[in-house]
Amino acid sequence: MKPLQSSTRSTLKRFALGALSAMALSFASGPAWSAEPVTARVALSGGLDRLDPSQTANGTDLVIVTQIYETLLEIDYATKELKPKLAQSYRAVSPTLWEIKLRKGVKFHDGSEMTAEDVKFSIERILDPKLSSPHFSQLSSIKDVRVVDPYTVEIETKVPDPVLMRRMQPLGGSGRLFIMSKKYYEGKDNAELANTPMGTGPYKLESWEKGQRLVLTRFEDYWGNKPEIDKGIYTFIPENATRVNALVQGEVDIIQRVPITDVERLEKSDKVHVIASPNGLVHTLLLDSSKPPFNDIDVRKAFAHALDVEDMVEGLLGKYGRVYGVPMSENVVQFDASIKPYAYDPELSKRLLKDKAPIKLETFTSDGRYVNDRDFYNVINRQLEEVGFKVTPQTLEWGRLINMMQNRSAGPFYIIGWDFGEGDASKINSFLHSSSALSITQDAEFDRLAALAGQEIDPAKRTKIFHDIQKYVHDQYFIAAIWQAAALYGFSKKFTWEANSGDTLLLHEVKVSK
Amino acid sequence: MQQTAKRRPRWVKGNLVFLAASVVLLALLVFAVAGDALAPIDPARQSLRSRLLPPGAESRLGIHWLGTDSVGRDVLSQIIAGARPAIAVSAAAVALAVLVGVGLGMIAGYRSKRMADALLYVTNIQLAFPFFLLAVTVVGILRPSIPLVIFVIALGCWVPFARIAYSETLVVVEQEYIEAVHVMRGSVPRILFRHVLPNILPNIVVLATFMLGSAIVMESGLSFVGLGVPTATPTWGRMLSEGRDYMQTAWWLTVFPGAAIFLLVLSINVLGEHLRDRISPKKSSN
């Protein structure tokens, strides 16, 4: 008994050792991520509201939505041109008719295949007045959507709409036509659907505890390249200092919106690094020219020349900020670099205001929504006081403030940041065209020019019209200051990312550091 | 009088804390009154070239003993300028609370059972509401202004005054001399102001001192959440809230205004305790 026992034991021992070393070998030889799932913990700066792409325009919602759902086209980061995504190809049959061929074999997370019916459904859902989608106006030129065969769709527009295809890509927020499953969505309650997103994207929703955390897991039947990250755990930390500390202490791997003053501290650490995406938000200091006091161009002019924007951006954003003379990002095709920002000239402002009664400005400001927004408001208000404006600011919580902005009741001036990810100048309609809810400019001449640009098919002529528009906006002082801030992300050294998509961090683009 | 004068030197010697508190309080009062003249640098003066300088650093504006904030304003000058809103608003609020609370309390204590029930009912409702929720709702809906902030803080302070005034009045009106005034057909206001008020006043003064401390904390709290008095230069609460983002990189933005609030409230409370010991010795022995 004894010898047998011992030999059994030694055999067992040998076997166990062999198994162990085999396992160790397989770990060593295979890539690290095949051994155990790679999890990225991400801290967002704001909470989530509704995860239905046709019902939301909230920035943090869109970060999640853009990973669960996909669009027909996307932007090639290198060439800035459109390229197919869920579409195989697209072409203009006539100025008012587009034909889109769909990619075959694309599966929704529930296993069903994406077809032309789903595309038709997704467009018509946004156009349904009952849903009152925030993207409605972007697609309102569409007259009819026809299913030709399961993989071909025809879109007919009321008038020529040269930028329609730009609205079929996911970045920039002007359009964002995400493809949703007709079978899954039809006939269901909209409020409920906002909690249970389901699309074709590289990640699917695993769980969502509202206000606490959200978990995305990789969709194994995804048609495209397999992402390196298996699982994304999202938490919400609005407080800047807390969010940065969470990264430094290793509680999370990725954070949005690193405050500029913390960049240096993070760069010194050997566990984390900062990634800057130059195409961050373009901040516009909008003036309400539809009512007094800013319906008077002299007052707008006095306002604009009272501000030392160069100094402000240099001081508050350093190398992560750029001042522009026109309200769009450099990456926009029609960007006119020849128009310079308004010069700092407080004496001119004082002269312009000399014969006028003192102007009181009761304003509302945000704190924490944009990079250093509170400091910007502090400096702006002070410089306005110096030329004779009387400013009484009140800080409001962002949710309430954006609501007031949409009712055009958020005061005489305020800052809004815009994502120009789509790379087209037509985006400026969102804050200058009289029909947009967020526009406090009501100007017939601007609307006329915008309509001209909207219907021009020829790219060169269209660019020319947009140059005229930029000149007009500059001469009219509708926007007092324009600057762009880089989108700053804090990353654990475990991960790395090519920051191309500006304000939208896409997990499937994140790589595991080698 | 003579007795207190004799006792004082010994008492002061034994109470350095009280002395220190008086000095702090006096200094802050001077800041509140003459802050504009005393601030070494214009507290509203911004300079983005010299933002976030540490304490003791020098810029072309002078030496920043307590550093500069995120838009380059001098922290020391802001703290000096912030003494006025902190003290004036809180004092006004406590005065309003005393007026309303003591008035209602005395009437309820003197009048009828029904008035008393009504008062107790109202104070109970008020106490059931968390003050901050109430304050944020009221100030959040209306636009913050100095009178509104004073009103809201007074709303958070008046209940203890009403309760003390009520219960003390109950005791006083039972006294025989009040009966005597009744017999002599003295008017109600005369009874309340000449006979009841002087008797309950010492306790009210002590309570008012303590409430002033709470009112300053309330004012700072409201400023912290952005609902304080709108002023050109930040109040202490707003300085704290603005400095929060820089806790790791610029500690002086939160430590100094925090210390200012702490010292002011502590000094007021020390003074309050001292007053309590002297005015109503009965209470301190309990």
Question: Which of B51, B232, B242 lies closest to A374 in CB terms?
Answer: B242
Q: Does the CB of A314 have a partner CB in chain B at under 8 Å?
A: yes
The residue of A45, A316, A378, A390 whose CB has the most chain B CBs within 10 angstroms, and thus the best one to mutate to test that interface, is: A378
- The full length of chain B comes to 286
Q: Does the CB of B251 have a partner CB in chain A at under 8 Å?
A: no
Give the pair of three-digit tokens for residue A238. 């609005």
Q: Do A314 and B48 touch (CB under 8 A)?
A: yes
Q: Do B70 and A261 touch (CB under 8 A)?
A: yes
pLDDT, residue A481, reads: 96
Q: Does the CB of A392 have a partner CB in chain B at under 8 Å?
A: yes
Residue pLDDT tens, chain A, 514 long:
344 444 444 444 445 444 444 444 444 444 444 557 899 999 988 778 889 888 887 778 888 999 999 999 988 887 778 899 999 999 999 989 999 999 999 999 999 999 999 999 999 999 988 887 878 877 888 999 999 999 999 999 998 888 888 888 888 765 678 999 999 998 888 888 889 999 999 999 999 998 889 999 999 999 999 999 999 999 998 888 889 999 999 999 999 889 888 898 898 888 999 999 878 899 999 999 998 899 999 999 999 999 999 999 999 998 899 999 999 998 888 999 999 999 999 999 999 999 888 999 999 988 878 888 889 999 999 999 999 999 988 888 777 888 888 888 899 999 999 888 778 888 898 899 988 878 899 999 999 999 999 888 888 999 999 999 999 999 999 999 999 999 899 999 999 998 877 778 899 999 998 7
Supply the DSSP string of B207-232, one letter for each residue.
HHHHHHHHHHHHHHHHHHTT-S---S
One-letter amino acid of A370:
Y
The three-state secondary structure class of B188 is helix
pLDDT, residue A175, reads: 61
Q: Which residues neighbour A509 within 8 Å (Cβ) at sequence distance 6 or greater?
A: A227, A497, A498, A500, A501
Q: Which of residues 226-255 of A touch B (CB under 8 A)?
A: 239-241, 244-245
Contact by Cβ (8 Å): B118, B108? yes
Taking contacts as CB-CB distances below 8 angstroms, the residues of chain B near A259 are 245
Q: Does the CB of A394 have a partner CB in chain B at under 8 Å?
A: yes
Q: Does the CB of A386 have a partner CB in chain B at under 8 Å?
A: no
Q: Are strands A39-44 and A73-75 parallel, antiparallel or unpaired?
A: unpaired
Average pLDDT of the residues of chain B:
86
d(CA B243, CA B237): 10
Each as own residue / partner, the long-range contacts of residues A345-348 (CB below 8 Å, 24 or more positions apart, any chain) are: A345/A305, A346/A305, A346/A306, A346/A383, A346/A386, A346/A387, A348/A301, A348/A302, A348/A305
Q: Do B246 and A312 touch (CB under 8 A)?
A: no
Contact by Cβ (8 Å): B27, B35? no
Q: Does the CB of A385 have a partner CB in chain B at under 8 Å?
A: yes
One-letter amino acid of B219:
E
Q: Does the CB of A316 have a partner CB in chain B at under 8 Å?
A: yes
pLDDT, residue B280, reads: 63
Q: How much is the CA Rg of chain B, to the nearest whole Å?
A: 22
Taking contacts as CB-CB distances below 8 angstroms, the residues of chain A near B48 are 311-312, 314-316, 379
Question: Which of A241, A314, A393 lies closest to B244 in CB terms?
Answer: A241
Q: Report the candidate in A209, A213, A219 with the shortest Cα–Cα distance to residue A251.
A: A213
- What is the band of B189 on the pLDDT scale with cuts at 50, 70, 90? confident
pLDDT, residue B10, reads: 54
Contact by Cβ (8 Å): B272, B206? yes
Tell me the β-bridge partners of A417: A283
d(CA A71, CA A174): 13
pLDDT, residue B80, reads: 93
d(CA A226, CA A220): 8
Taking contacts as CB-CB distances below 8 angstroms, the residues of chain B near A244 are 248
- The full length of chain A comes to 514
pLDDT, residue B8, reads: 55
Q: Which residue is it, tokens 């700092």?
A: A344
**CA of A509, closest CA in chain B: separation in Å?**
30
How many helices, marked H, and strands, marked E, lie in chain A?
A: 17, 21
- What is the band of B228 on the pLDDT scale with cuts at 50, 70, 90? confident
Question: Which of B46, B52, B71 lies closest to A261 in CB terms?
Answer: B52
Q: Do A379 and B250 touch (CB under 8 A)?
A: no
C-alpha distances out from residue A372 to A283, A421, A449, A487, B27, Å = 11, 21, 34, 12, 34
**CA of B245, closest CA in chain A: separation in Å?**
5
Supply the DSSP string of B13-81, one letter for each residue.
HT-HHHHHHHHHHHHHHHHHHHHHHH-SS-TT---GGGTTPPTTEEETTEEETT-B-TT--BHHHHHHH
pLDDT, residue A278, reads: 78
Q: Does the CB of A269 have a partner CB in chain B at under 8 Å?
A: no
Taking contacts as CB-CB distances below 8 angstroms, the residues of chain B near A239 are 244
Contact by Cβ (8 Å): A208, A198? no
Contact by Cβ (8 Å): A88, A102? yes
Q: Does the CB of B46 have a partner CB in chain A at under 8 Å?
A: yes
Indicate whether B11 pLDDT > 70.
no
Indicate whether B283 pLDDT > 50.
no
Query: Please, is B16 exposed, middle or buried when counting C-beta atoms within 10 Å of its C-beta (0-12, 13-18, 19+)?
Result: exposed
In a 13 Å sphere around the CA of A262, the CA atoms on its Cβ side amount to: 30
pLDDT, residue A169, reads: 87
Chain A residue with CA closest to B238: the answer is A395
pLDDT, residue B247, reads: 84
Q: Do A241 and B226 touch (CB under 8 A)?
A: no
